[in-house]
Structure 1
Amino acid sequence: MEIPLLDARRMGEDPAGFARDLGRAARGSGFFLLAHHDVPQDLIDGVLAQGDAFFALPHDAKARIAIDAGNRGWAWEGSEKLDPDSGQVDRKEAFNMGLDLAADDPRILAGDPFRGVNRWPDLPGFAETLRAYFDAVHGLGQRVMQAVARDLDLPPDHFESAFDAPMATLRLLSYPAGSPEDGIGAGAHTDYGALTFLLTDGVPGLQVRPRGQSDWIDVPDVAGAYIINIGDCLMRWSNDTYVSTPHRVLPPPRPRRSIAFFLDPNPEAMVSCLPGLGEAKYPPISGAEYLRSRLEATYG
């Protein structure tokens, strides 16, 4: 299974060629690597450092900002089962933030789904660093969605209004060292949203399983490059033209850190079969309704 390495500079220099290569990966493995993006390395390093500081906090300090109904806050080790059928509980902990809104934002006051106030730990620079990273990857995600639109013979700005205030989640992840006998780092699953942008600290563990096959394949790590994969929402939106591929994280040989950015659409965006992709296989559904259905399956 090919997981190609794409050059983000081509989004500006050769947008048609970049879109073609992205589309080939999206129809094949559902994964690709993206190098030479414009997210600063010092910002990435800062997020990893803030994650280290957060996960080192005492349990009680993290528990004060435990994950809430808006999918924000701390998820403790053992709180998630990404593969519930396996009976295994994920061996990881995480911190989630979403689009940063003030408590008096009209969308929060109106009770709009998945609109909430982020839950911050008492750590200097933590919120500011994560806000900056969220904005940077959101911008990168919007540009990649332009390439998706081009590949699907749509205007480049087709998805712009569906992702200008997304239900995106920035998630810091920490996996303890372990062995296969210890269970699983993250159970086999497909991602819920449109695109996932993942950076790791280079410690191995991420594997993918091509649909219809039984063998798991290690995902290559290229320093500084994002691992990007198609999520179920975009697979549905594309009427199964694109492929959302199952993946998992094995217990790593030493502690493993990663930063995931899950690009989900705006809550009110309608996910329905895109033009030119044949008879619709799925009924239309709002972004919020779709995300809620997937989170309920994970958290029970």
Structure 2
Amino acid sequence: MVPILDWGEFLQSPESFAAKLGRTCRDHGFFVIENHPVAAELIAQMFQQADAFFALPDAQKRPLAISNNPHNRGWAAMGTESLDETSGQIDQKQAFNVGFDLAPDDPRVLAGEPFRGVNIWPDLPGFKATALAYFDAVQSMGIALHRAFAADLGLPLDYFDAHFDAPMATLRMLSYPAVPSGEGIGAGAHTDYGSITLLMTDGAPGLQVKPRGQDWMDVPAVDGAFIVNIGDCLMRWSNRNYISTPHRVLAPPRARRSIAFFLDPNPDSVIEALPGTGESRYPAITAADYLRSRLDATYKPLGA
């Protein structure tokens, strides 16, 4: 069963929360957080804006295609992703990505640094403002969670702060069409690439996880709660003290919507075994190089 944690305990008894969180990250890598700090009204507004975007004709979305953007921003059309690298099964979903927001004249943008491009926006009233407000709120929650990770791992509470002051974070809106026959897959079996993922769903079924040595199981839908999971980057960083867990989205019987926030470290952060975690199981790699290696295996050319 996927554990359910209470953000109120994080605020009132951080040591107790960190201990529970640590056990969960070692045993499951997946958990639910209720009573979190992100406002319900903001979440509702983000779903409304995502619905408005996905309702646009493909001809209006095509100029925003992620396949034309080297910085992982924009629209991923139906049939352009295959998350299950083993089977090659094509995902039945579309998505829109928003990255860490930078101005066109930012020195990092002008220098062409990896994952340091400008966001591209649909011409929809309120879309940009809502997306950036949601991005900031969930990023703050994700950084706070890393303080709990630090406490559990015996590190200074602010250990991770410098690695997330300009992160390669991605806000991803997702839309899965209804598939009454149940054929195919919404999103193929995979582990996430980054440090952590914070996922909000509309309650529609479909998300499943596969803990080590167990069969696929449904993730509980707790109204208004975030589903959080450890990504491969944090698994490497923690030297496999924490685990990333395979998950998938079945082809849903009714249309399904979700909003994922992938929190990756700064591009130049070196991902190597954290102090006190033992002999390193992985070679050191920058966060940008690791993310690029994973994304290159996921995307297919538009129209392929």
Task: State the TM-score, normalized to the length of structure 2.
Answer: 0.96
Runs of 4+ in 1 over 3 A off after TM superposition: none
Q: Structure 1 residues 180, 21: closer, same or farther in 2, change over 3 A? A: farther
Is the counterpart of residue 41 in structure 1 residue 65 in structure 2? no
Alpha-carbon separation, structure 2, partners of 1:211 and 1:49:
36
Corresponding position of 1:294? 294
Deviation readout 1:119-164 (Å, 9 max, x if unpaired) = 1000000000000000000000010000000000001100000011
CA contact (8 A) 1:180 1:250 kept: no
Corresponding position of 1:223? 223
After superposition, where does 1:115-194 map in structure 2 within 5 Å?
115-179=116-180, 181-194=182-195
Cα distance, 1:83 vs structure 2: 0.6
Which amino acid letter does the alignment assign opposite residue 260 of structure 2? A
> Can you give the 5+ residue segments of structure 2 that lack an aligned partner in the other structure?
none
Alpha-carbon separation, structure 1, partners of 2:46 and 2:194:
22
SS at match of 1:298: coil
Which amino acid letter does the alignment assign opposite residue 79 of structure 1? T
Corresponding position of 2:109? 108
After superposition, where does 1:264-279 map in structure 2 within 5 Å?
264-279=264-279
Alpha-carbon separation, structure 1, partners of 2:182 and 2:202:
23
After superposition, where does 1:227-246 map in structure 2 within 5 Å?
227-246=227-246
CA contact (8 A) 1:203 1:256 kept: yes
Q: How many residues align?
A: 298
Alpha-carbon separation, structure 2, partners of 1:288 and 1:175:
29
Q: Structure 1 residues 55, 46: closer, same or farther in 2, change over 3 A? A: same
Deviation readout 1:78-104 (Å, 9 max, x if unpaired) = 000001321310000000000111100
Alpha-carbon separation, structure 2, partners of 1:179 and 1:274:
46
Deviation readout 1:232-254 (Å, 9 max, x if unpaired) = 00000000000100000001110
CA contact (8 A) 2:181 2:253 kept: no
Alpha-carbon separation, structure 1, partners of 2:181 and 2:192:
23
Corresponding position of 1:17? 16
Q: Structure 1 residues 245, 43: closer, same or farther in 2, change over 3 A? A: same
CA contact (8 A) 1:192 1:231 kept: yes
Corresponding position of 1:4? 3
Alpha-carbon separation, structure 2, partners of 1:240 and 1:139:
25
Corresponding position of 1:58? 57
SS at match of 2:174: strand
SS at match of 1:84: coil
Task: State the TM-score, normalized to the length of structure 1.
Answer: 0.98
Alpha-carbon separation, structure 1, partners of 2:194 and 2:7:
21
Which amino acid letter does the alignment assign opposite residue 119 of structure 1? I
CA contact (8 A) 2:5 2:33 kept: yes
